[in-house]
Amino acid sequence: MPKKPRPSPPGLEILPAGTGEFVLLINGRLVQGNQTMLALLARLFDNFGTVVPYEDLCLLIGHKSGNSAATHVLRQYIVWLRGTLIANKAPYAITLAHRVGYGLCKMAGEPRRISTTLPELGRNLRRVRRPG
């Protein structure tokens, strides 16, 4: 039984263009990319939160194996996809599982403020160390 695709994460949509091709919308903005790039992103969407093996992704870009030449080409596509997500302020990132593959994940919320001066760091440490 074929795996049912998961719905696209909020802010990211791949829609049919009516010509048999697809278009990418990030936060409602149309993003230009070729069909191979969109196929990669669609595969990552379908497996949101999990790692897709190199071999599966290499097949999508027309390579028969996940050898070093194929993974190099794949890496170029992934760099474009990452840059596109960042440029369009998508709250998602493409992650690398070394020697395994790539995955699409939701980014954590806003990072906590970090102390930037030694006195401020000292005050924060004392506050944390004080008993309840």
Output the pLDDT for position 78: 95
User: Is residue 131 in some structural domain?
Assistant: no
State the pLDDT at residue 110.
53
For the stretch 70-86, pLDDT in tens is 999 999 999 999 999 88
Number of domains comprising the chain: 1
Cα–Cα nearest to 8, from 18, 22, 21: 22
CB 42 within 8 A of CB 22: yes
Task: Say if 127 falls within a structural domain.
Answer: no
Does the residue 47 lie in any domain? Answer: yes
Q: Please say whether the beta carbons of 54 and 97 come within 8 A.
A: no
Residue 124 lies in a domain: no
Residue of 113 and 84 predicted with greater confidence: 84
Q: How confident is the model at residue 9 (pLDDT cuts 50, 70, 90)?
A: low
Q: Which residues pair with 16 in a beta bridge?
A: 22
Q: Say whether 62 sits in a helix, a strand or coil.
A: coil
42: domain CATH number?
1.10.10.10
- Coil, helix or strand for 20? coil
Q: Which domain holds residue 23?
A: 12-108
